[in-house]
Chain A
């Protein structure tokens, strides 16, 4: 199985700050990576697909990038509504695997 190592596990930042969350894949997954945000008691919401493409309706302050087998989600100009848990997902091969999650809180 492909392992997705996500970091940090938690992070606290102030409004308007820039934050970056990363996922390291245990092998090449190309651009078969997506990012999701989950708020308490809710379903995950797709933010980024194909490593860098912004999902419909998602603010442009969210962006995704790739460097080899490391993938990053950047949130620029953090807003209060950005709190939640963020997950990466690889869908390159079965079984699809999620990162362990990053809990983002605002100071």
Chain B
């Protein structure tokens, strides 16, 4: 069965970076886009972008250009998202989800930006 296992919660300082992971299993990792979605506390969902692990192609929501960097490691079937220059506005839960239709989601990673 398809599973997306995300890394644990992060407490990070303003101005720093963080890299969170999403390990895929139960399907051919290189055949499906992996999407990332942000959810701030008490708020709705915001699409960040996707990566196609087969060739590393990426597409970002322009709002997250320079903020999020998506990568993928085919050898470990793991997708990564690095968030840089963190501020309090980046405190949120971040989900990975597999295309098509975002039918499979990771459990989410809570990132807290605080000094």
Contact = CB atoms under 8 A, between A and B. Distances in A.
B106 A43 contact: yes
A89 interface: yes
Interface residues of B, number: 20
Interface residues of A, number: 21
A99 B105 CA distance: 18
A44 B62 CA distance: 23
Contacts, number: 50
Chain A residues touching B, majority SS: loop
Contacts of A96: 35, 47, 61
Contacts of A75: none
Interface stretch (B13-21, B70-78, B95-103): B95-103
B101 A101 contact: no
B66 interface: no
B47 A44 contact: no
B59 A94 contact: yes
16 contacts: A43-B95, A43-B97, A43-B106, A44-B45, A45-B105, A49-B100, A49-B103, A56-B103, A89-B45, A89-B102, A91-B101, A94-B59, A95-B61, A95-B62, A95-B63, A100-B44
Interface of B: 35, 44-47, 49, 59, 61-63, 95, 97, 100-103, 105-108
Given A49-B103, A101-B45, 14 more contacts: A36-B102, A43-B108, A44-B45, A44-B95, A45-B105, A49-B101, A55-B103, A56-B103, A89-B45, A94-B61, A95-B47, A96-B47, A98-B46, A101-B44
